[in-house]
Amino acid sequence: MKIFIATLPNGYFGSSGQSWKTLDVEKIASMLNFDTQIITVNDLKGIDLDASDVVIYTSSDEENIRQYLIDLMYWINKKCHILPSYEMLLSHENKGFQQLMRDQYGFGRLSGSYLFDIDDSRLSMPKVLKTVSGAGSTGVSLIRNKKDLSTIKKQCFEVSKKRKIIKFQRRLKLTKKEFSIYNYRHKGFNRIVEQEFISDLKNDFKVLVFGNRYYGLKRSIKKNDFRASGSGLFEFVKPPNEVLEFARSIFDELGNPYASLDIAQSDDGCHLLEFQGTNFGPIALLNSSTRCVYSDNGWIEEVNDKDLEGDFAHALNMFLGSN
């Protein structure tokens, strides 16, 4: 088995918190319990990979880079094992694919669906609509009534004035059946996720998981808002045991060395809002004074050494050692 850490062509391997910073891959490689070679993702096209080999790579929040990686890693995944998994790559910056994973594997305890036509929406109001990409609270709206729904249609599903004029011209020239097909094509689409609205929340939790190490960030909701993400009201605290156990159950389902989980806790239990398995922000790890470690079927709270590369290596050693 050969282990390859594949950076972007400029040596970048995320995420270290800011787009102008990179993880120290040489440090990660030195801490792995396996012989490791550092390459770039472009080098992968010229390497004769064996089925037992492992490629550890990074995604990007830059769309063109991410789409390139989606294309490339599809083929690399056929040759050897890749980390993060291909599903985690497709889930990065894509709430739609996250929803499809929920539907397929039945985890998260939150009703929802993935759509491209707002008129196909079937979830009752109130509900939350999310565009498939966007960090923090960007692209997230609460739909309480038909007026809110109409507003979202105008913001996200409206066609241009030019297209409306062309559609009028086509109506005069095409048969009724032909125009029906043409009109649907230019109806106005946008990929969105609708999710069940959890009322009366005062906060949620972001939980970062590296192997058996868990880091918590409590995010409070601003007055007259419903979103904790992007509020900036953070507390670095030990999450309740119910949240930790829920996070562990989700992490086991994802089958990845590390993950970022957004979790809401209500009177009805815990609910998974969103998740990422690559290139997520490490703010909880870098700022929490302690971390929770799952060991011997129980939780231990220990001092956080705030070693981001060390935690990546720890997670990879655990994952590779058990697979």
pLDDT tens over the chain, length 323 residues = 999 999 999 999 988 777 788 999 999 999 999 999 999 999 999 999 999 999 999 999 999 999 999 999 999 999 999 999 999 999 999 999 999 999 999 999 999 999 999 999 989 999 999 999 876 567 889 999 999 999 999 989 999 999 999 999 999 999 999 999 999 999 999 999 999 999 888 889 999 999 999 999 999 887 666 655 655 678 999 999 999 999 999 999 999 999 999 999 988 899 999 999 999 999 999 999 999 999 999 999 999 999 999 999 999 999 999 65
Reference 209, options 220, 199, 197, 217; nearest CA is 217
Q: Report the DSSP pairing between strands 298-303 and 3-7.
A: unpaired
pLDDT of residue 195: 95
- Total Cβ atoms within 10 A of residue 126: 15
**Torsion sign across C-alpha atoms 31, 284, 100, 247:** positive
Whether residues 117 and 81 share a domain: the answer is no
For residue 224, tell me if it sits in a domain. no
Whether residues 123 and 186 share a domain: the answer is yes
Whether residues 84 and 115 share a domain: the answer is no
Tell which of 180, 197, 214 closes a domain. Answer: 197
For residue 298, tell me if it sits in a domain. no
CB 264 within 8 A of CB 101: no
Whether residues 168 and 130 share a domain: the answer is yes
Indicate the number of domains in the chain: 2
**Helices and strands (H and E) in the chain: how many:** 10, 15
Tell which of 197, 228, 252 closes a domain. Answer: 197
Whether residues 141 and 69 share a domain: the answer is no
* CATH number for 174: 3.30.1490
Reference 261, options 239, 233, 294; nearest CA is 239
Whether residues 82 and 146 share a domain: the answer is no
For residue 175, tell me if it sits in a domain. yes
Omega before 199 within 30 of 0, i.e. cis:
no
Domain coverage including residue 50: 3-91
Whether residues 161 and 115 share a domain: the answer is yes
For residue 126, tell me if it sits in a domain. yes
**Residue written as tokens 């995320």?**
14
For residue 133, tell me if it sits in a domain. yes
For residue 122, tell me if it sits in a domain. yes
Whether residues 115 and 193 share a domain: the answer is yes
For residue 257, tell me if it sits in a domain. no
For residue 268, tell me if it sits in a domain. no
Whether residues 41 and 77 share a domain: the answer is yes
Tell which of 174, 197, 220 closes a domain. Answer: 197
Whether residues 68 and 130 share a domain: the answer is no
pLDDT of residue 322: 66
Whether residues 45 and 79 share a domain: the answer is yes
